[in-house]
A = this chain, B = another copy of it.
Amino acid sequence: MDAEKFSGGYCPVARGLARVGDAWSMLILRDASYGLARFDQFRVSLGIAPNILTRRLKALTDDGLLEKRRYSERPPRDEYVLTAAGRDFLPILYAIGAWGARHHGGGPLTRATDAETGRVIDPVVIDRNSGAPIGSRPLRLTVPGREDELLVE
């Protein structure tokens, strides 16, 4: 969809989606958060064609979500590990997972629990400043270069 067109615009959502707005990329990040790092681990886990995986890993690396690291000189072997920006994206995946479980959650599902308390994790997006869940209070959008503001939600 020609992400270039959106990657420099005013909308931060479009900017984010320009880097990770594709299902393979997000599933690779999910697997990376599970500790997978090598080409063949991703390939087997996802059942993705190797040429496609190569392209996605390169895109994620170029966009700063993964870092390619040589873990063996002889034979030359690389692994892909999450960068700070990549790790910062993981909570969004959990939020997507929670949404998926709420609305398309028939049958058994993988569940995340707090390793210490053992309680099931229930991800919610809140506003750090007010502490209120996004969507529970009306928002105002300010578009750069425009006087008028847009009221949503």
Contacts and interface: CB of A to CB of B under 8 A. Distances in A.
Given A16-B97, A17-B26, A121-B129, 4 more contacts: A11-B109, A12-B105, A19-B103, A112-B141
Interface in A49-97: 64, 85, 87-97
A126 B129 contact: no
Contacts of A134: 90-91, 94-95, 121, 123
Contacts of A6: 23, 27
A8 B104 CA distance: 9
For the complex formed by this chain, how many copies does it contain in all? Answer: 2
14 contacts: A10-B110, A12-B98, A15-B105, A15-B109, A34-B152, A89-B99, A91-B133, A92-B95, A108-B144, A113-B140, A123-B126, A124-B126, A124-B128, A125-B126
Nearest to A89: B99
A30 interface: yes
A115 to B, nearest CB: 4
B121 A124 contact: no
Contacts of A153: 33, 90
A15 B100 contact: yes
A30 B13 contact: yes
Among A12, A89, A92, A144, the one with the most B-chain Cβ atoms within 10 Å of its Cβ is A12
A122 interface: yes
A23 B30 contact: no
Contact of A135 (B13, B90, B96, B97): B90
